[in-house]
Structure 1
Amino acid sequence: MDETIKTLVLTGYRSYELGIFQENDPKIEVIKKVVKDRLIAYLENGLEWLLIGGNLGVELWGAQVAYQLRLDYPDFKIGIIFPFLEYGRQWKEKNAALLTEIKAQADFVEATSHQPYENPNQLKNHTQFLLSHSGGALILYDEEFPGKPQWFLKDASHFSEKFPYQIDKITMDDLQNAITDG
């Protein structure tokens, strides 16, 4: 970590991209452990806010980790910034219930577009909003498995060419090492 980041975006793969379809999949605990370790390092260095977009997978698991960390870091705040109004409305009941639970514990919940989904520009505007309102991003991403996070990473990389912005990746090797290290 080069400098203090007060606001960090957490993103990464959706659960289905990781082949995770059950809440008790052991891969979730490994991901949570690595995210927790990284968040603690940021918190120890002055992190105040974690922002997520509300995606199923890394973002919601990360929010669960962040809520647990508030026991030791009571000033830690979590914001959920959705790309559009009614985000998650069409999700299956179990997933919608998880999103409702995560939203209920957040310190801030808003959408960058106050319209239901209309077009991809809402997603692009959402990414630009997150980038311009944070000092860095923690992304579960591996070059060998591009998936959906590649679009955020691409935009974050372009953003970092013009503004100071830190991009921190959690790779598949990091997850494997967490398993190996116990």
Structure 2
Amino acid sequence: MKTIAITGYKGHELGIFDQKHQGIYYIKKAIEQRIIPLIEEGLEWVIISGQLGVELWAAEVVLSLKKQYPNIKLAVLTPFLGQEERWQDATKEYYTRILNEADYVDSITKRPYDNPSQLRLKNEFIISKVDGLLILFDEDKPGSPLYYLEIARKQQQFKEFSILMITPTDLDLLVQDEQAAENWD
């Protein structure tokens, strides 16, 4: 697998409204644990759409892994121009920092937001360009990642396409492992 898209919930869908929330650490750790073996097997590109939440946290993970794995690259393919326009200033700064550090940045539709089909096009376009999808997803609480997942599942019908999930159970086990390790120290 040379390319993978990463997606998941927006922060507010997870009840996370602050970049200092403890849950972000565990989500980033889970992403890191999933993508390091992929990098070691030849993963070259991680693609996100720059959505707030899991996607930008994944970008942070990829950017931090570049020190250890200089061949990994990050692409941010936004669904439309200026997706950050209505965000708060601190969020815009965080987003801009990630875009500035990414290896490739572009917008799929070369115009500002004008209709919801741009989001569907973004999902379809990105899935058509990658070999797999890593998704933070809870089958019991589908939310926005479901749209990406449905397109990825359709892709599996036409070509070899990997779908890797990080589930709430995976996160719970990670938290338990981390807490057990802290208790040993």
Determine the structure 2 residue equivalent to 1:70.
66
Unaligned runs of 5+ in 1: none
More displaced 10-residue stretch of structure 1: 119-128 or 142-151: 119-128
Counterpart secondary structure, 2:7: strand
> What's the RMSD between the two structures over aligned residues?
0.7
Large movers: runs of 4+ above 4 Å? none
Pair 1:23-2:19 in alignment: yes
What residue number does 2:128 align with? 132
Q: Determine which of 42, 47, 62 is the counterpart of 1:46.
A: 42
Aligned residue number for residue 139 of structure 2: 143
SS of the counterpart of 1:162?
coil
Matched, 1:167 2:168: no
Letter in 1 for 2:11: S
CA deviation profile, 1:114-135 (whole Å, cap 9, x unmatched) = 0111112211111111011100
Work out the percentage of aligned pairs sharing the same amino acid.
39
| 1:150 CA drift (Å) | 0.6
Distance in 2, matches of 1:128 and 1:20, equals 27
Deviation at 1:71, TM superposition (A): 0.6
> Do residues 156 (structure 1) and 152 (structure 2) align?
yes
Could you give the per-residue CA deviations for residues 5-64 of structure 1, whole angstroms, max 9, x where no partner exists? Answer: 100000000000010111111100000100001010110111000000001100001100
TM-score by length of 1: 0.96
Bigger Rg over Cα: 2
- SS of equivalent to 1:80: strand
* Equivalent residue letter for 1:94: A
| Letter of the 2:29 counterpart | K
Aligned residue pair count: 178
Normalised by the length of structure 2, the TM-score is: 0.94
